[in-house]
Structure 1
Amino acid sequence: MAERPNEQAPDQSRRSFLKYTGTAIGGAVVGGVIGSAVSGGFKKSAGEPSPSPSSSAAPQAQGPSDFNQAPMFFNQQQLQIAEAAAERIFPKDDKYPGATDLAVAFYIDHQLASPWGVNARTYRMGPFVKGEATQGDYQSIERHELITMGLNTLEETSKTKHSKSFTELAPEEQDAILTSMEKGEINVVNGITGKTFFNLFRVLVMEGVYSDPLYGGNKNMAGWKMRKYPGNQMSYTNVVDKDAFVAMEPRSLHDHFVH
């Protein structure tokens, strides 16, 4: 009679599989506390010190990235020219930050990358004729084209007059070119004067200084802090009945989304 195999003998291959996959304890996580127990990680003598984790193996903690401080439309040269021009329109002083510190160029960049930059909700049918001074501008080109062409004109004018990039000019030289643009003495393209560019660019600069930081400018709400503006508070019920001015720490829309 042939000898029957021992039914109590362990199935080594199956046990090994369960051991290293964690299935034996109903999980698929191996390497933590459970995984160590399954693989014999607790087999050590009493009083044996646990090895301290290597500092080189631990991932380095990094601060949160500020994705608002990234260009979405401009190339690097355009961003730098926009930053330099914005700083001359809203320069820093001994007490308050200027357009550069407030990240105004990023606000402008983000606006041009948005539907606003392509005049998405603007009537775009011709004829495109020059209107009266009281009628405002009605251009055949889109806003992002006007701004980028205006920045290119700043650069070309700078190189023609000073053989240097606009970003390399002294502040008074930058002011002189911007003043010529503001007066309409420099054309941008197809009869569109620098005044048209300057007027729109200046509006964008001021928006970048004072808009909610959610949109890319007014970094750290410093523009609001200059004016003691409270920003987007959830409620004013605790101060509405006070006669004296109440200074409040400003809040961004971003604060409400996160918290």
Structure 2
Amino acid sequence: MRAASLRNVSRRRFLATTAIATILGVAGAHARSISGSLPWQPGVADPPTPVRPDPWQFFTHDEAIAIEAILDRLIPQDDLGPGAKAAGCAVYIDRLLAGPFGDARRLYMKPPFLKALPQQGPQSPIRPASRYRGGLAALDTYCRANFGEKSFAELTPEQQDTILRGLEEKTIQLPNVDGPEFFEQVLQHTLEGFFADPIYGGNREMVSWKLVGFPGARYDYRDFVKKHNERYPLPPVSILGRTDWIAQR
């Protein structure tokens, strides 16, 4: 089930079925090694640098408006909670593209570039940041040519859904861009931003973890190990703790 088809399935069910795989496979995140004794004292560990929401580091003003409009349709806000835009997914994607992932500095990017099986990974000279920039520009060109010079963000939600569904189902072609590939990349990063630890810019106030019942970065579950098929009663915790803890320091 794709995000563009959320109307056919409950929001909670769709998000719950993608949460764990996404949390475990966040693009751009990498492990750190700790040598010597364990860092039992608070602040001794070396966590990722927290992402701050402003200003944009990769997106231009117009690109940011467009990507937030896309996020609003992929995971829209409803009575269960905020959607991807309010959860900060655009900030997550912006920092992702502004970093090593965006320019593919950690990937092998030399030819030959041949058609390959999906499990063989990306086979393209186009770097992720360039794919986003080109995809957003092509989407803007398509919208203005087919909807009276309106940008994607200026269209109705129904029109936006039609375009995203067309990209997903390969019935809409963007000029000089692989539309389905662009859609899949945006969808993947939207889910990552929605479910990743808030330290990376998305999942503000751990909204998605609260939605699906994910406990977050708690270090001790011994009191709950043998309590099978019971809802975990404690609120989620991010790598940096909780905002109510920080406020009390």
Q: TM-score, normalised by structure 1?
A: 0.68
Instruction: Give 1:107 deviation, angstroms.
Output: 0.7
User: Which residue of 183, 186, 192 corresponds with 2:173?
Assistant: 186
Aligned residues between the structures: 192
What corresponds to 2:10 in structure 1? none
User: Which residue of 182, 200, 206 corresponds with 1:197?
Assistant: 182
User: Which residue of 69, 72, 80 corresponds with 1:87?
Assistant: 72
Query: Structure 1 pair 133/183, CA: closer, same or farther in 2 (3 Å)?
Result: farther
Q: Distance in 2 between matches of 1:221 and 1:188?
A: 38
Instruction: Give 1:254 deviation, angstroms.
Output: 1.7
Q: Tell me: higher relative CO, structure 1 or 2? Use CA pairs within 8 A at least 6 residues apart.
A: 2
**Does structure 1 retain, via aligned residues, the 8 Å contact 2:140–2:151?**
yes
Q: Is the partner of 1:117 in helix, strand or coil?
A: coil
Partner deviation per Cα, 1:9-60 (whole Å, 9 max, x = no partner)? xxxxxxxxxxxxxxxxxxxxxxxxxxxxxxxxxxxxxxxxxxxxxxxxxxxx
> What letter matches 2:123 in structure 1?
Y
**Does structure 1 retain, via aligned residues, the 8 Å contact 2:71–2:85?**
yes
Q: Is the partner of 1:118 in helix, strand or coil?
A: coil
Q: Distance in 2 between matches of 1:216 and 1:73?
A: 14
What corresponds to 1:251 in structure 2? 237
Instruction: Give 1:70 deviation, angstroms.
Output: 3.3
Counting only pairs closer than 5 Å after superposition, residues 54-93 of structure 1 correspond to structure 2 as 67-93=52-78
**Does structure 2 retain, via aligned residues, the 8 Å contact 1:90–1:99?**
yes
What corresponds to 1:140 in structure 2? 125
Counting only pairs closer than 5 Å after superposition, residues 147-162 of structure 1 correspond to structure 2 as 147-162=132-147
What corresponds to 1:209 in structure 2? 194
Which segment is superposed worse, 80-89 or 123-132? 123-132
**Does structure 1 retain, via aligned residues, the 8 Å contact 2:80–2:211?**
no
What corresponds to 2:18 in structure 1? none
User: Which residue of 214, 218, 222 corresponds with 2:203?
Assistant: 218
Q: Is 1:106 matched with 2:120?
A: no
Partner deviation per Cα, 1:38-86 (whole Å, 9 max, x = no partner)? xxxxxxxxxxxxxxxxxxxxxxxxxxxx823432211111111111111
**Does structure 2 retain, via aligned residues, the 8 Å contact 1:150–1:197?**
yes
Instruction: Give 1:178 deviation, angstroms.
Output: 1.5
Q: Distance in 2 between matches of 1:183 and 1:135?
A: 22
> What letter matches 2:233 in structure 1?
A
The two structures, once aligned, show a CA RMSD in angstroms of 2.2
**Does structure 2 retain, via aligned residues, the 8 Å contact 1:69–1:216?**
no
> What letter matches 1:115 in structure 2?
P
> What letter matches 2:124 in structure 1?
Q
Instruction: Give 1:216 deviation, angstroms.
Output: 0.4
Instruction: Give 1:171 deviation, angstroms.
Output: 0.6
What corresponds to 1:97 in structure 2? 82
Q: Distance in 1 between matches of 2:53 and 2:71?
A: 17
Q: Distance in 2 between matches of 1:166 and 1:138?
A: 29
Q: Distance in 1 between matches of 2:103 and 2:240?
A: 26
> Identity of aligned pairs, percent?
33
What corresponds to 1:241 in structure 2? 226
> What letter matches 1:149 in structure 2?
G
**Does structure 2 retain, via aligned residues, the 8 Å contact 1:149–1:188?**
no
Counting only pairs closer than 5 Å after superposition, residues 26-65 of structure 1 correspond to structure 2 as none
Instruction: Give 1:98 deviation, angstroms.
Output: 0.8
> What letter matches 1:110 in structure 2?
R
Q: TM-score, normalised by structure 2?
A: 0.71
> What letter matches 1:177 in structure 2?
I
> What letter matches 2:74 in structure 1?
I
Partner deviation per Cα, 1:89-138 (whole Å, 9 max, x = no partner)? 11111222111111111111010011011112211111223335665541
> What letter matches 2:181 in structure 1?
T
